[in-house]
Structure 1
């Protein structure tokens, strides 16, 4: 099967080299790519179901990587299969830390070339984006020690990619990619918090905390973004001789003053104080954030009704649930068929 994949890939690459990327639109090339995708899907299913990780690692990963990683890396962007990234995510999740020796090889083959594909704009290659973020999530969770041992310039790219994920604006990528990005960041902060190498964790905070904080605050419309900051435990002074609380308070205040010149100093002061006061109470934090967003939107004349959609949906669901308890209250079209409930 891998031989079929390899031969098919070589034929596609040869035709692209001979006639350019436009050849990928021809029916024959589309069918050849469909064969590759089906092979990747079959392999992904098998790896996801297997109970013997050693068999996968020792007998399957070497020839698979030889055939798939090199093909992905050398191909033009339009010919790279996004299912390669999802397959790698499944392999990493299944093999966990056993895949550590292969992480550098995985990153060398797919990280930079994929990042170059998706950082040009926010719209091209949506499937590659989501699968790329999922791969980062798997690597961060299962191979954390390898990632934090990367050279600083390479680890910087990992952090940048995570930020890129949760700041996405493309509609069909933003919701899922944003959740994945925040999950990666939260997991990264959690793992640093319990990591045996406390010095390495504090170095991370010193270099990245303020940058991450600013990025999180720029997408503060989602209450999940603030929760991740509770995972940070900093002992290293970020800006001596100031205390960390004073420094962070000042930095957030200055950032908000620059970003929201329509707010008064008192409004900014109360908002920032709330971030520190409600940091362990997600409900109060959510309400505090919403009050802040209402102030911003009202100042510029924007509609604020979208900030209350979640509560309205919950209220509607509560009413529907109450109706179900009373026979005859639901309309026929509101009653689920028995088959759909099984």
Structure 2
């Protein structure tokens, strides 16, 4: 049957026909025929290719696949996706068969690295791949020519034919790249020499100009970068030396800003994908880094950004090579190009501090000059250019601190007090501008620049504290001055001048220093709690960043400084509980999640870390309030997204009253005040209370339904999965809860995603090149 169909197709579409050129000029009916042909061939071969492989006449197999090759060349992404799925399935099967081939003493070598073997030795085996040799060679060309832009490439051609910096990633393109890349990796393993030959031939045509174009250069280089680790080291070395030399020559040869930008971006992408090669060839690594510094000075924004990104990637992957003295060098390369990741890798403390001083020399000189000028004349801080320079200096410090880590202490110590003084001065200027110009002020360029300075100062402190190792020194030498400068400023400012970054920085410090910050919690709460709450409790929309960071701060205090929370006066403590419950009803998922988690962590702390008297007093005052609010959001369809935490919170409340596994309840006293007669057990009270609550809210429910559900609240409260299922079934039974209930299955979905990702990584880790170098953890011992 298939043979007859293929013969008929051959009379309609000659195999030699260039479908790539013909398809765009065809009418819709002909185009639909080609699309259906693609679906037919892919589906048929996907199910029955084994039958066709065993036909005496090999032509049906090869001709059918060559039709797919021609169809794959058509410039239509949706058609290409159809064929790509089949091609990936085929090459993966051929690779797995080759891996499993019984080759006696050759088998271990083949399993370790098939690219290392002479293809002529593989030809002696009766493998399916031999039947596809010509097809696979043509398929390599297709995959190279169809390669799409990887995430690391920041330079694109826009609709006007200009080379520009890309800012938005297309998720469809990212996924397509991953699939094409995987297919090309398998094709490389199946015949590494053919892959190398095709790529070097195409590169030569870029150099001689016969096939030069931005598109052709791009797709070839993206394909070259995509097969990193699919070759053995010797082949990779030979291949890359040719590639990089040709591309460096091409940058010298090409004229025009855009031409140079295209070639430069491709060089940077390729070298960033081959850290194994760079580590093994120091002179080449040094040449590449020097070239990256040239690219950093290019006027094209995309080239600059990509040069910085590539340099950072190489600095992280090869950091030890820069601090070690390499053969035929007079000094370590870091002496010329001090960089954060390399400073971090320098084990000698004295050398490290000197390198750090060299690294920060230029920004420190500019900083010192500005501080001198501002001391003499504070009005210099109102100059727009000065504001911009200060912002850049702070950003440079943040970037360096991110890579240097805890060893950044000498630098932050050098500028710390002046930096806090700068924070106060810029804040004063912002407040004056807001008092003078009102709501327009925050949108004015000068005020935005001043706020950038404040935010970067906070970001630097946050970054350093997060990476610090000597926490006692941080607490004693940094925290007091910081709180004096930042908290009072936050409290006294008008709402529009308060920075959410203050709350974020406080959260980071508390999370890092934990118990060391207990004595400082009252002053933090005093300065940020009520004034922030007053900003965000009037509606659900104003100050969105402050909302998220406010509840993150409360969570951090509860998790790491819980005893300090218990020392709040009754009014402030009630504010905390009210704030959690208010957040749980918020339409912002981050705020809702923070409020629910804070409440869950708080009741756990009360139950586990306080005495019986304190726990009883807390739950008698707040248990019913919390329970009612949890049921409110649980049964509100607009809050399905919080189901995972809502159900955990409800389970804990019932477990504390009467644990399903038996044992002593966490709550010893009554959870009610005057709602039931004295002596009523908490269980009896809750059965009646919850039953009444639900029957009033949902008139469609039968008493028996409610009773079964409530019984489950008590009998399943030690098994989260079963408790969640009982709750989910009950919610779905509510007519008001109809519609999309995907959020109720979030736990199962999250686990499924984790399992799939783990399985996919394990699968890819077994094939050289399927894991990108950036996905493989760097072992310092191997650097």
Aligned length: 329
Q: In structure 1, what is the Cα distance between the partners aligned to 2:489 and 2:736?
A: 51
Asked which structure has the greater RCO (Cα within 8 Å, sep 6+), the reply is: 1
Tell me if 1:103 matches 2:521. yes
CA distance change for structure 1 residues 60 and 309 in 2, over 3 Å: closer, same or farther?
closer
CA RMSD, 1 decimal: 2.6
Tell me how far 1:314 sits from its aligned partner. Answer: 6.0
Q: Give distance in 1, aligned partners of 2:697 and 2:751.
A: 33
TM score, norm. by length of structure 2 = 0.40
Match of residue 733 from structure 2:
295
Query: Residue 609 of structure 2: which of 162, 177, 195 is its match?
Result: 195
Per the alignment, residue 330 of structure 1 pairs with none
| Distance of 1:180 and 1:261 partners within structure 2 | 32
After superposition, where does 1:57-206 map in structure 2 within 5 Å?
Answer: 57-170=475-588, 174=589, 176-206=590-620
Give runs of aligned pairs for residues 238-317 of structure 1, distance below 5 A. Answer: 238-239=671-672, 240-296=678-734, 299-300=735-736, 302-306=738-742, 307-308=744-745, 311=748
Corresponding residue of 1:225: 646
Q: Deviations over 1:34-53 (max 9, x none)?
A: 11111110011111122222
SS of 1:236's partner is coil
CA distance in 1, matches of 2:759, 2:512: 43
Contact 1:114 1:128 (C-alpha < 8 Å) held by counterparts: yes
Give me the whole-angstrom Cα distance separating, in 1, the residues matched to 2:480 and 2:760: 58
Deviation digits for residues 148-191 of structure 1 (CA, Å, limit 9, x no counterpart): 12211110001111222333222xxx1x3333323322222222
Change (3 A) 1:84 1:245: same
Mark the runs of 5 or more structure 1 residues left unpaired by the alignment.
328-334
Q: 1:283 to 1:30 in 2, by over 3 A?
A: same
Could you tell me which residue of structure 1 aligns to residue 462 of structure 2? 44
2:462·2:505 contact (CA, 8 Å) conserved in 1?
yes
If the length of structure 1 is used for normalisation, what is the TM-score?
Answer: 0.87
Out of 612, 617, 621, the residue aligned to residue 207 of structure 1 is 621
Does 193-202 or 223-232 show the bigger shift? 223-232
| CA 203–52 in structure 1, closer or farther in 2 if over 3 Å, else same | same
1:199 deviation in Å? Answer: 0.6
Provide closer, same or farther for how the CA distance between residues 80 and 244 of structure 1 changes in structure 2, counting only shifts above 3 A: same
2:490/2:527 contact within 8 Å kept: yes
Q: Aligned partners of 2:753 and 2:521: how far apart in 1?
A: 47
Aligned to 2:775: 341
Whether contact under 8 Å (2:597, 2:645) holds in the other structure is no
8 A contact 1:227–1:279 mirrored in 2: no
Whether the 8 Å contact between 1:223 and 1:285 is mirrored in structure 2 is no
Q: Which moved more, 1:139-148 or 1:304-313?
A: 304-313
* Aligned residues of 2:458 and 2:505 also touching (Cα < 8 A): yes
**SS at 1:6's partner residue?**
helix
Contact 2:558 2:602 in 1 (8 A): yes
For 1:321-336, list aligned pairs within 5 A: none
Q: Distance in 1 between matches of 2:605 and 2:750?
A: 35
Deviation at 1:106, TM superposition (A): 0.5
**Change over 3 Å in CA distance of 1:238–1:302 after alignment to 2:** closer
Alignment check: 8 A CA contact 1:16 1:23 kept: yes
Deviation at 1:263, TM superposition (A): 1.7
**Aligned residue for 1:10?**
428
